[in-house]
Amino acid sequence: MTAILQRELNRLREMVLALGDRVVEAVRQAVRAVETRDAALAQRVIDGDHEIDQMEVDVEEECLKILALHQPVAIDLRFIVSVLKINSDLERIGDKASGIAKKAARLAAEEPVQATVDFQGMAEQVLDMLRRSLGALVNMDRALAVEVCQGDTAINELDDANAARLRDLVARGQGNPRALGLMIELSSALERVADHATNIAEDVIYMVDGTIVRHHPEMTGAPHPRRRRTDQA
């Protein structure tokens, strides 16, 4: 590897990690807007989505430039391919943060409801997954990436439980149905953020040793195969 290529790969790593930090903060603020019923905060998250979009474009352009100029091979090529995929997942998480913020603004206009779901606790678990997936990227830590993959099932189960409780309240006419419906959507959005965090962890595994685990859950100990989501917020 030439010194120039090394510098450019280091710069690329810094760019994707800066995007990751920005995305984590967007999700954190969107969740805060839900908890505090703060429509102004929600709007700031929505307004900030264009910055995430531009950072995603910058990372992609940097990847393509390095590929064209240096034609990297082996682990350097795997790194760039993985960054391209991780970049896409981070942008989609940004979309989810904006979507959560939009729902937070709508929820703030509704009559508050007392629902037996721990939205904040779920959000903390999802944010922890996202931070750990980025930590695995920083440290090229395969073991940590595997842990993130294994934790996705708990979020799926929590989302299922939340949806069941909230739908039961709607069916029994207890609480504002619009607010309860928004809470179902919020839980689902958090579950999808966890899916994207899992995607990032899978790409870290590929980056480290070239193993594609996406369709082989037995390689990570996860009971269900993952799939890349292409849905929008």
pLDDT tens readout for residues 68-79: 999 999 999 999
- Enter the tokens of residue 119: 């939205």
Give per-residue pLDDT as tens, 160-197.
Answer: 999 999 999 999 999 899 999 999 999 999 999 999 99
Q: Quote the longest CA-to-CA distance of the chain.
A: 67
**Residue 205: how many other CB atoms lie within 10 Å:** 24
Residue whose structure tokens are 């710069």: 11
H or E segment to which residue 224 belongs: none
What pTM was computed for the model?
0.91
Q: What is the predicted pLDDT for the residue at 116?
A: 78
Q: What is the predicted pLDDT for the residue at 232?
A: 46
Contacts of 21 (CB under 8 A, 6+ apart): 134
Q: What is the predicted pLDDT for the residue at 51?
A: 97
Fold of 3-219: Methane Monooxygenase Hydroxylase; Chain G, domain 1 (1.20.58)
**Residue 59: how many other CB atoms lie within 10 Å:** 22
- Measuring CA to CA, which residue among 106, 63, 41, 103 is closest to residue 233? 103
* Integer Cα distance of 41 and 108 in angstroms: 11
* Integer Cα distance of 197 and 131 in angstroms: 8
Q: What is the predicted pLDDT for the residue at 226?
A: 43
Within the chain, which residues score under 50 in pLDDT? 225-230, 232
> Where are the chain's structural domains?
3-219
Q: What is the predicted pLDDT for the residue at 219?
A: 67
Q: What is the predicted pLDDT for the residue at 213?
A: 85
Give the Å distances, CA to CA, from 8 to 13, 53, 64. Answer: 9, 21, 12
Cα 96 from chain centroid (whole Å) = 8
Cα torsion 5, 145, 162, 46 to 10°: value is: -10
